[in-house]
Amino acid sequence: MRGIRIGVLIALCVGALAVFAWAGRAQNSAAAPDAKLVEDLVYANRILADQDVLDGFGHVSARDPKDPGKFLMARSMAPGIVTRGDILEYNSVGEPIDARGRTSYVERYIHAAIYRARPDVMAIVHSHSPEVIPFTVTGTALRPIYHMSAFLGAGAPIFDIRDAAGMTDMLVRDNKLGDALAKSLGNSAVVLMRGHGYVAVGNAVPQVVFRAIYTQVNARLQAQAAQLGPVIFLSPEESAKAGVSIDAVVSRPWELWKARVGKVE
Ligand code: MN
């Protein structure tokens, strides 16, 4: 009798251990996105709205470093009011993994296509900044006017959706258009979109926020400088050197921009 009871007890213990092990594995395979990455992405949304890079439109995303085929982005909403609960996870073709009734940005394929094409890219911003638009429609190249925008030294090619798909509503509505945009981006940090806006890419959320902001600042300064006379831009060599120096201190403005928007939910 006692032997049977001990046997049952052992069987129960083994069973419980097996259940715990299974539950642990199940949790790992559907691991929640990194809390710090989600927080950074919420800050990125708030900062880009605060800096007038995004208004009611535009978006910012981050690749999941633990699962590089996935990326995080807010549900379809104005970036200036995004909270943690609004962040959705997307697969490599830009479809939400667990939307639970929440709608997605129409142009999420911009992000999906660039993450597929550029393994080095960990974060992406898409903006309609009015200051940048003139450089998308005039043939005047956006070039690095000062060290803060040295990343433009790699060029800011223009994607014309007309070349890819003829007459459209100008939106990157599917993966085919996304792939064409990613091809125009090439290895650059920024691609301009004719009559629409631009996309900036980076190796982390703070870097892409920095690049999106200083793309806009560069456009403003370049337009002002051109009114005064011929402009001397950074040379490719200066751009390369300045880019390295500025990348090393991106955390300084990032902390300032975070402080400006205050604590996020
Ligand atoms: Mn757009």
Are 16 and 55 found together in one domain?
A: no
Are 71 and 114 found together in one domain?
A: yes
Are 84 and 185 found together in one domain?
A: yes
Are 95 and 41 found together in one domain?
A: yes
CB 122 within 8 A of CB 214: no
Q: pLDDT digits over 2-27, tens only?
A: 555 655 555 554 555 555 545 444 44
Question: 2: domain range?
Answer: 1-31
Are 27 and 41 found together in one domain?
A: no
Q: Which two tokens stand for residue 85?
A: 């609960």
Are 7 and 115 found together in one domain?
A: no
Are 16 and 129 found together in one domain?
A: no
- What is the side-by-side strand order in the sheet with 71-74? 87-90, 71-74, 59-63, 123-127, 197-202, 190-193, 158-159
How many whole angstroms from 238 Cα to the centroid of ligand 1? 32
Are 127 and 208 found together in one domain?
A: yes
Residue 237 annotated as catalytic: no
CA 233 to chain centre: 27
For 49-103, the DSSP string reads HHTTS-SSS-EEEEE-TTSTT-EEEE-SS-GGG--GGGEEEE-TTS-BSS-TT--
Q: Which position has the higher pLDDT, 8 or 165?
A: 165
Domain count, the chain: 2
**Per-residue pLDDT at 29:** 45
**Per-residue pLDDT at 33:** 87
**CATH number of the domain that residue 165 is part of:** 3.40.225.10
Catalytic residue among 39, 95, 107, 238: 107
How many whole angstroms from 17 Cα to the centroid of ligand 1? 51
Q: pLDDT digits over 219-262, tens only?
A: 999 999 999 999 999 999 999 999 999 999 999 999 999 999 99
**Per-residue pLDDT at 24:** 45
